[in-house]
């Protein structure tokens, strides 16, 4: 039955381009971000979706959790919403001609981001991928959908060789950091655990996926960025930076921003 899976993945999402008509689609962020829960503040988001070989970007003000766009109803597409404009996005896809809405989930963000980056050069190829089938294959390999060999997967998509074996688990790495400011560091994704640092103690994190993972220290207004290379023999890089200005606002200014625009 393996060949059946291969065929399903490579099927056009829709056919009959000549009879396309536009459909109004509502796209919404289905859940709160871990940093929103930790800080008690709702974020602004950058919504991203493909238009031909370009990525369209729309900034959603704080408190806005959905957007409505018009798209050809026979054209599938992936889309994402980046919290505070960067990091791991919420992701999802429009895949059915009768579909009127799309919910974006943080778990699907890494897969959608890989497809969005690919669509900048190979938009037609990406639009032909059966997203739901691919999503299930990714979940079967890694239920968190974050630790995959993305470059190998994208190469098979572009080469027209996408099959079940194209989806491979990525390396996970142990990272040790010394002398972090003490306190709670909140992960930007539920797929990577948060941790608490203690004075004069090193922090050990197991099984970090490749790529950049960020952690927020709410009390100290700090953001920790850990960049894990794909190759396990390469050195891990990390640094601490200032948080987004939204998190530095006083409560009065924040609520004015949140409610004053209404």
d(CA 85, CA 88): 10
| Phi and psi torsions of 7, nearest 5° | -65, -40
Q: Hunting for tokens 């200005």 — which residue is that?
A: 245
d(CA 106, CA 69): 21
Buried b (16+ CB within 10 A) or exposed e, 127-142: bbbbbebbbebbeebb
SS in 3 state form for 121-190? HHHHHHHCCCHHHHHHHHHHHCCCCCCECHHHHHHHHHCCCCCHHHCCECCEEEEEECCCCCEEEEECCC
Q: Do residues 209 and 235 touch, judged by C-beta distance below 8 A?
A: no
Q: Can you give the pLDDT at residue 261?
A: 56
Q: Can you give the pLDDT at residue 20?
A: 59
d(CA 232, CA 174): 9
Question: In a 3-state reduction of DSSP, which class is residue 191?
Answer: coil
| Tens digit of each residue's pLDDT, the chain (262 residues) | 444 344 334 444 443 344 558 889 999 999 999 999 999 999 999 999 999 889 999 999 999 999 999 988 778 999 999 999 999 999 999 998 778 999 999 999 999 999 999 999 999 999 899 999 999 999 999 999 999 999 999 999 999 999 999 999 998 998 999 889 999 999 999 999 999 999 989 999 988 999 999 999 999 999 999 999 887 778 889 999 999 999 999 999 999 999 875 4
Per CATH, the number for 2-166 is 2.60.40.1120
Q: Can you give the pLDDT at residue 2?
A: 44
Q: Do residues 44 and 62 touch, judged by C-beta distance below 8 A?
A: yes
Tokens of 134: 């691919």
Q: Can you give the pLDDT at residue 13?
A: 42
**CA 77 vs CA 132, 137, 139, 149: distances in Å:** 12, 18, 20, 22
Residue 5 neighbours by CB distance under 10 Å: 16
SS in 3 state form for 68-98? EEEEECCCCEEEEEEECCCCCCEEEEECCCC
Q: Can you give the pLDDT at residue 231?
A: 77
Tokens of 67: 């957007």
Which sequence spans correspond to the domains of the chain? 2-166, 172-248
């Amino acid at each position: 039955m393996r060949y059946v899976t291969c065929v399903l993945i490579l099927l056009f999402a829709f056919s009959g381009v000549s009879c396309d008509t536009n459909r109004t689609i509502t796209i919404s962020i289905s859940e709160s971000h871990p940093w929103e829960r930790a800080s008690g503040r709702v974020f602004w988001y950058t919504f991203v979706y493909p238009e031909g070989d370009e990525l369209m970007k729309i900034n959603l003000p704080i408190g806005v959790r959905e957007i409505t766009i018009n798209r050809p109803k026979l054209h599938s597409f992936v889309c994402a919403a980046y919290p505070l404009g960067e990091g791991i996005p919420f992701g999802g896809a429009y895949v059915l001609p009768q579909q009127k809405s799309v919910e974006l989930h943080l778990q699907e963000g890494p897969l959608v981001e890989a497809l969005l980056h690919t669509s900048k050069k190979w938009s037609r190829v990406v639009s032909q991928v059966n997203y739901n089938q691919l999503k299930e294959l990714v979940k079967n390999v890694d239920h968190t959908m974050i630790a995959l060999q993305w470059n190998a997967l994208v190469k098979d998509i572009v080469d027209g060789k996408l099959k079940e074996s194209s989806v491979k688990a990525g390396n996970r790495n142990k990272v040790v950091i010394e002398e972090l400011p003490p306190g709670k560091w909140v992960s930007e994704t539920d797929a990577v655990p948060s941790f608490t640092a203690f004075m004069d103690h090193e922090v050990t994190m197991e099984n970090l996926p490749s790529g950049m993972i960020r952690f927020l220290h709410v009390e100290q207004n700090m953001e920790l960025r850990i960049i894990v290379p794909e190759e396990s023999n390469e050195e891990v890089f990390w640094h601490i930076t200032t948080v987004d200005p939204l998190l530095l606002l006083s409560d009065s200014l924040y609520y004015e921003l949140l409610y004053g625009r209404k």
